[in-house]
Amino acid sequence: MAKTVFDLGLSVEAVSLFLLIEGLEGGKIDPDKNCTATPGAITIDSCLEKWSGEKIDFESALKELLAAGAVRNNDSELNITKPDSWKKK
């Protein structure tokens, strides 16, 4: 986990979304643990399926993460960026 996400001054929702994306990224495939999951893109839709809050809170959290540079959105595919490129508030 990129612990520096807690130092960015983001909202609870934005940190939660970051952790969700990070969990989905890390949970794709782990051959050492006999994981049979197939690799796939982490999309806005796949995150929304797991998001337990309101859609407007998701959208706000995603905007925060994008503005901080912690997440990149490539045609609705979300990826976590390297912490050294993140912007603190």
Model pLDDT, residue 28: 53
- Listing DSSP states for 39-80 in one string gives P---BHHHHHHH--S-HHHHHHHHHHHHHHTSEEEETTEEEE
DSSP state of 83: G
For Cα atoms 82, 88, 46, give the angle at the middle one, nearest 5 degrees. Answer: 55
- Sorted by where each begins, the domain ranges of the chain are 9-26+39-84
User: Which residues of the chain register pLDDT less than 70?
Assistant: 1, 27-39
pLDDT tens digits, 52-67: 999 999 999 999 999 9
Query: What is d(CA 43, CA 45) in angstroms, rounded to the nearest whole number?
Result: 5
* CATH classification code of 9-26+39-84: 1.10.460.10
What is the pTM assigned to this prediction? 0.83
User: What average pLDDT does the structure give for the chain?
Assistant: 86
CB 47 within 8 A of CB 78: yes
In sequence order, which residues have a C-beta less than 8 Å from that of residue 23 and are 6 or more positions away?
none
CA gap 28, 14 in Å, rounded: 22
